Chain A
Amino acid sequence: MTEFTPFASLAGGVMIGLSAVMLMLWEGRIAGISGIAGELLPPYRDGAFLSRFGFVIGLIAAPVAIATATGEAIPQTVSSNVPLMIAAGLLVGFGSVWGNGCTSGHGVCGLSRLSTRSLAATVVFMATAFVTVFLVRHVIGG
């Protein structure tokens, strides 16, 4: 069980939305993490490497800084099944770049731009994720 946290989750979501809006305001780009991270490796097509690198460093620094500032560990339960996590990582990495976006690029930025392409992508990844969890927890694990 995890606790239902509507207010904290809404506040965190607002922060994510603000980050996306300000990135568009600053340099006119979509805050899609799979795009930002996927373009960190060569070949480089544009001059935005330093921007993307900065965004990723900030993303990585935030939890560490919050944990240090509050003196409390960030609640996080990650599976320690290494083969499972490697397989999951490969699927997430390949699928998000192949489909031109993930939860942020299609889910947040695309939906808020009313893109039907992003709506289709979001419906599909939500559906396969729901089915995967159902199979793992209630069919295989059940």
Chain B
Amino acid sequence: MSFLVNLALGFLFGAGLVISGMADPAKVLNFLDLFGTWDPSLAFVMGGAVIVAFVGYRLVLARDKPIIGGTFHLPTRNDIDARVIAGPAIFGIGWGLGGFCPGPALSALGLGAPGTLAFLPAMILGMWGARLLADNRVQARTA
């Protein structure tokens, strides 16, 4: 059941990316090109999503627990460490080079552009590398 619900929510998310224009790297790169062919559309994507989530999370988190039970898995950290600066700095460079962040990159798979097919395996490899490196550091610290 959770598989089907997630399938529907992933579909809604992906449809949102397409309708908003965020799935098109050209639009993303133009949003990021403040001093050139600036297209401010993506500020509206972020604005719409944040406003809905701001209100929606408040309603949802007033509940005791999620529908399927268990607990709400909310990030508890609020400190600003080196990783939460270095990671986004690296991510932003890649985003500016390719015009893809992880959601739009995945959603683009079925459209089969050569650039997407080069980007996606590299992205998955990078994600995996970061996880393994992070796990190693945790083990080294606790060993």
Contact = CB atoms under 8 A, between A and B. Distances in A.
Interface of A: 1-31, 33-34, 37-41, 43, 48, 50-67, 74-82, 84-104, 106-113, 115-117, 120-122, 124-134, 136-138
B105 to A, nearest CB: 7
Contacts, number: 502
Given A85-B118, A96-B102, A115-B75, A102 B91 contact: yes
Interface string B50-90: 11111011011101011110111111011110011111111
B49 A25 contact: no
Contacts of B67: 25-27
- How many B residues touch the partner, as a band? 35 or more
Interface in B12-51: 12-27, 29-30, 32-37, 39-42, 44-51
Given A91-B97, A125-B95, 12 more contacts: A21-B56, A21-B57, A55-B13, A61-B110, A62-B107, A78-B100, A81-B115, A95-B92, A98-B86, A112-B50, A115-B75, A133-B32
B92 A62 contact: no
A37 B8 CA distance: 16
Contacts of A38: 127-128, 130-131
Given A16-B16, A41-B127, A81-B115, A88 B5 contact: no
Contact of B48 (A14, A23, A43, A113): A14
A24 B57 contact: yes
A74 B19 CA distance: 9
From DSSP, what is the main secondary structure of chain A's interface residues?
helix
B67 to A, nearest CB: 5
A57 B14 CA distance: 10
Task: Name, among A20, A75, A127, the residue most crowded by chain B CB atoms within 10 Å (CB to CB).
Answer: A20
A24 B72 contact: yes
B143 interface: no
Contact of A92 (B15, B18, B101, B111): B101
B89 A31 contact: no
A25 B14 CA distance: 19
Given A62-B14, A115-B78, A50 B2 contact: yes
Contacts of A9: 20-22, 41-42, 44-45, 48
B109 to A, nearest CB: 5
A16 B39 CA distance: 20
Contacts of A108: 46, 49-50, 53
Contacts of A88: 94-95, 97-98, 100, 119, 122
